[in-house]
Structure formats: C-alpha cells, structure tokens
Amino acid sequence: MDPVTLIEVALAAGAAAGVKDTTSSAVKDAYDGLKAKVKDRLAGRPDAKQVLVEHETAPQRWKESLTSELTAVGVDAELERVSKVD
C-alpha cells in the first residue's frame, strides 16, 4: 500500500472508530494526532483542509480528493524519504 493510501485509510478508520463509545482513548488520541499532522501539511490550502473535514464524514466519497491533496503537498515523497532513512 502506498503511503498516501495508508494515511487515507488510517484517517477513514479513525473517523469510523471515533463515533463508537467503545473506542479506546489511545485510538482516539492516535487518530487526533494523525489528523493534526495532516492539517499541518495542508496549511495554506483551504480547499484541501475542507476536503479533510468532508472526508471525516464521508470517507468513500472524499477518498480520491484527499489522496490528491496529500500527493500535491508531497506527503508520499516525504514518507518514502523517511522510510529510507530508517
């Protein structure tokens, strides 16, 4: 799975888990942390931030738009660079 798809899937799973009462605080914290990092990367791109908000309520509908925005800000290249350092 490519890095951008991995992020999108994690955000979709976190959003889905967040609506359940049984979700642990660790899962909620991890989701909130990932979402905050994605928001930071999308800074200066108001349309992209709106896509992230919409993705939270309808992941399947906004999946393609979110992956496009993440690719546009270079998330995939950054993650590949970081994974090669490890």
Virtual CA dihedral for 82, 73, 67, 31, nearest 10 degrees?
A: 60
The pLDDT tens digits of the residues spanning 44-76 come to 999 999 999 999 999 999 999 999 999 999 988
In this prediction the pTM is 0.78
Rounded CA gap, 7 and 9, in Å?
Answer: 5
pLDDT tens-digit series, residues 18-54: 767 666 888 888 889 999 999 999 999 999 999 999 9
